[in-house]
């Protein structure tokens, strides 16, 4: 029997778990795993897998024996039981997703050649592809940088985009989010994720947990919403598209207990860098990580998503949070309809998936963190797990700098001209300061903190250093909407943080060229310069070929480093600059308070923004709509193309 979209309506249901859930006047068929009394204290993530096996039990690939073993899981045993996990949907980005759709297109051709109907070849699981990996920050620091960068993006990728636009219209269950819209993982949490799926299969309306595999390692960002999922290779994603399960061992599950609350002045970025350091040291490769305890309730959804996002950096398969009141609040905040909210809450409560802060599920291993101990941090210069307290940033930089020197490295500053004005660039200088990546741009508190810091800096007469390439590349249009509504956009632009694109950009190395004079000075003098970005990876050579040292930091710290222009700076002792009143300005003077951040968020962000921005998310702009796209059940390949 085939699994239609992971729904498993043809389950053998050996354990008689099938029942009905009434929500908003509708009856949903569900599989009630609370009937497995031995599974009551299973980790949340394994309960999701248990429901998945029960719903897709076919007696061959998925057996009653496997279900029994999972329900009675021994946390102290080595993973040795193979199971078949059937994800509810598949999510892709344009680099890794294109080959999957090419294969579907060629399958259609093969069916047509055999005399069949090519239109019968379609994904069986819902699939969404977000075009976010292609935009490059060629231009920056101007009001029209975004439009120009998107124009260049279309020129470079026209063939791929024509093909994807054809796929958008040709295939059932396949949707494309066009370029210039957002980053796949942010679009996923803000719009695509269902948390609980509802789907009609074989005439029956069914409800079951939203699960996902994605063709990108940071698919785990959706774990923050209580959606189990992770990144897979293209072949596994294609198999899932066609309704096939993913083979895996029942994993070890590491319980990460959170206590207390984050102290004032710290951010979600500081927290995730702390967790990354702890889990990388502990060793979680091939394991599930699950967060539990009283501190979970104190974490806003955006912070949870940031933590889930960096699961690949600490090496786990996933890093999941359970469903609770905060999940429902976030779904409402991002514009999901009331019926979906009711379905998620009722389903989670009925099926034992609702978070109990007092519960202590059985875990293979346990770690614990008091959130009150988190301090402002950065990570670098080349690994995400190398966390540095901000107070130690300068001394850490001083230790590593000599390791980047060669015989030809100039020890003194090199004079250059930027935009016709003389300046100089030297070792340790920050030449890229980028607010980028879904890791942080999905989080209104850190994004507003960055903009408020920019406002205070501008009001004191400070400006970014001329050798710094400053870029803003958020993961959704909602960010620029709330910047506009709050009146903070002009302050960001005054410091050079103009919008360059809605996409991955600097985080994946699409930082674009540095100004010619800067690049020339760096390469001719073998300077050891730095990038500071609000992304999730900082490996050597990833961000820019000109940059040797890369540091991860929160968005407000990215702005702060643009103001100083160097890693050779102690934010506690050294002033950022001289204000227009002639007095020294320190970071503490312009760092926004929690009350200021909360106030501007409450007055500037509403659920209507999400509803408006995502209403036409699959439509695209005039460039997308005007693409010369072939029609028909099979794709009209361009014989002259050497690309697609």
Opening angle at CA 180, ends 618 and 230, nearest 5: 70
Q: The tokens of 394 are what?
A: 């300068």
Q: 524: part of which helix (H) or strand (E)?
A: helix 516-524
Cα–Cα distance between 336 and 206 in angstroms, integer? 19
pLDDT for the residue numbered 1 = 35
Below-70 pLDDT ranges, the chain: 1-9
Structural domains of the chain in order of their starting residue, each with its CATH number: 377-608 (3.30.499.10)
pLDDT tens figures, 560-600 = 999 999 999 999 999 999 999 999 999 999 999 999 999 99
Do strands 89-93 and 127-130 pair parallel, antiparallel, or not at all (unpaired)? parallel
Query: Is residue 537 a contact partner of residue 363, using CB atoms and an 8 Å limit?
Result: no
- Cα separation, 592 vs 598, in Å, equals 10
What whole-number distance in Å separates Cα of residue 18 and Cα of residue 362? 26
What local confidence, expressed as pLDDT, does residue 5 receive?
A: 52
Q: Which residues pair with 540 in a beta bridge?
A: none
Say how many C-beta atoms besides its own lie within 10 A of residue 144's C-beta. Answer: 11
> Two tokens at 640?
């002259």
User: Quick count: other Cβ atoms within 10 Å of Cβ 608?
Assistant: 10
Two structure tokens written together for 610 = 């999400």
Position 29 scores a pLDDT of: 97
CA distance 132 to 127: 16
Structure token pair of residue 347? 């389903």
Residue whose C-alpha is closest to residue 443's, from 270, 280, 590: 270
Looking at residue 2, its pLDDT comes to 42
pLDDT digits (tens, 9 = 90+) for 78-117: 999 999 999 999 999 988 889 999 999 999 999 999 999 9
Give the pLDDT confidence of 382-418 residue by residue, as tens digits: 999 999 999 999 999 999 999 999 888 888 899 999 9
């Amino acid at each position: 029997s085939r699994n239609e979209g992971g729904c498993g309506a043809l389950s053998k249901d050996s354990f008689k778990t099938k029942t009905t859930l009434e929500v908003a006047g509708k009856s949903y068929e569900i599989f009630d795993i609370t009937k497995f009394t031995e599974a009551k204290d299973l980790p949340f993530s394994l309960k999701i897998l248990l429901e998945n096996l029960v719903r897709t039990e076919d007696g061959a690939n998925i057996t009653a024996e496997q279900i029994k073993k999972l329900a009675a899981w021994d946390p102290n045993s080595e993973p040795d039981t193979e199971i078949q996990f059937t994800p509810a949907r598949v999510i892709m980005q344009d680099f890794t997703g294109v080959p999957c759709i090419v294969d579907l297109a060629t399958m259609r051709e093969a069916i047509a050649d055999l005399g069949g109907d090519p239109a019968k070849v379609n994904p069986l699981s819902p699939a969404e592809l977000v075009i976010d990996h292609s935009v490059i920050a060629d231009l920056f620091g101007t009001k029209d940088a975004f439009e120009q960068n998107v124009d260049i993006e279309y020129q470079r990728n026209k063939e791929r985009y024509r093909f994807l636009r054809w796929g958008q219209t040709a295939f059932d269950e396949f949707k494309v989010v066009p370029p210039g819209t957002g980053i796949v993982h942010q679009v996923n949490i803000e719009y695509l994720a269902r948390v609980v799926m509802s789907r009609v299969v074989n005439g029956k309306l069914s409800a079951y947990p939203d699960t996902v595999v994605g063709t990108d390692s940071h698919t785990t960002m959706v774990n923050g919403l209580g959606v189990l999922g992770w990144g897979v290779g293209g072949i596994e994603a294609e198999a899932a598209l066609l309704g096939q399960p993913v083979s895996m061992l029942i994993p070890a599950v590491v319980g990460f207990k959170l206590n207390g609350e984050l102290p004032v002045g710290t951010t979600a970025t500081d927290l995730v860098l702390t967790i990354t350091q702890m889990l990388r040291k502990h060793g979680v490769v091939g394991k599930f990580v699950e967060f539990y305890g009283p501190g979970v309730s104190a974490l806003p959804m955006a912070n949870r998503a940031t933590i889930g996002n960096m699961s690949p950096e600490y090496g786990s398969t996933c890093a999941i949070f359970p469903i609770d009141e905060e999940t429902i609040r976030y779904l409402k905040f991002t514009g999901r309809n009331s019926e979906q909210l009711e379905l998620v809450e009722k389903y989670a409560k009925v099926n034992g998936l609702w978070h109990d802060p007092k519960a202590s599920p059985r875990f293979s291993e346990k770690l614990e963190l008091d959130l009150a101990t988190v301090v402002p941090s950065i990570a670098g210069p080349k690994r995400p797990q190398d966390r540095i307290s901000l107070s130690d940033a300068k001394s850490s930089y001083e230790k590593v700098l000599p390791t980047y020197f060669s015989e030809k490295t100039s020890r003194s500053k090199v004079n250059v001209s930027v935009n016709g004005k003389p300046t100089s660039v030297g070792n340790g200088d920050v030449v890229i300061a980028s607010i980028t990546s879904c890791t942080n741009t999905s989080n209104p508190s850190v994004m507003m903190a960055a903009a408020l810091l920019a406002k205070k800096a501008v009001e004191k007469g400070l400006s970014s250093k001329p050798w710094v390439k400053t870029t803003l590349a958020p993961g959704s249009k909602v960010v620029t909407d709330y910047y506009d509504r709050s009146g903070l956009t002009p302050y960001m632009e005054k410091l050079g943080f103009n919008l360059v694109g809605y996409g991955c950009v600097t985080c994946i190395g699409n930082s674009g060229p540095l100004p010619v004079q800067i690049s020339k000075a760096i390469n001719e003098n073998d300077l050891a310069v730095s990038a500071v970005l609000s992304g999730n990876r900082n490996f050597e050579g990833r961000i820019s070929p000109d940059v040797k040292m890369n540091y991860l930091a929160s968005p407000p710290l990215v702005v702060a480093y643009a103001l100083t222009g160097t890693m050779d700076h102690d934010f506690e002792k050294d002033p950022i600059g001289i204000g227009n009143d002639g007095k020294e300005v320190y970071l503490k003077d312009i760092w926004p308070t929690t009350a200021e951040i909360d106030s501007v968020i409450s007055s500037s962000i509403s659920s209507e923004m999400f509803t408006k921005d995502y209403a036409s998310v699959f439509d695209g702009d005039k460039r997308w709509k005007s693409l010369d796209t072939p029609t028909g059940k099979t794709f009209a390949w361009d014989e002259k193309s050497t690309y697609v």
